[in-house]
Amino acid sequence: MYISETKLKVRYVETDRMGIVHHSNYYAWFEVGRGDFITKSGMTYSDMEKQGVMMPLVETYCKYYEGAKYEDDIIIQTSIGEMSPVKVIFNYNVIREVDGKLMAKGKTTQTFVNNQFKIVNLKKIHSELWEKLQNLK
């Protein structure tokens, strides 16, 4: 299984009055990790869209263990949890780099759709994209 690692530094704007990263920012980090994962697989999300395939988000989940703080260096680990020809579930671990502490984990579910937002069977309509993602499971 391929695991992409994306490094980020917590910005002040991402924290709340308590100095802890606001929970909503983890979902933005998941998106950064997911985009990086796709790029490291040899394509970009923009390339996918140019080929008429998009991946709208249909479900999200996040479990928080400890709040990240301003200037923490974090690593977003992204991997494919499950995949079928019509959807993909990405898994995420948010880890504090200095001590390897798991800060949060989550997952997102995306469907494969065309430019008209109709669900498509990726294996049938874009077998090369299917194979690239399948090889990373």
Q: Among all residues, which ones are annotated catalytic? A: 16
Q: Do 113 and 120 meet the contact criterion of CB atoms below 8 Å apart? A: yes
Q: Which residues pair with residue 92 across a beta bridge? A: 78, 106
The first and second tokens of residue 124, run together, are 């049938």
Look up tokens 């090889």; give the residue.
Answer: 135
The first and second tokens of residue 102, run together, are 């798991």
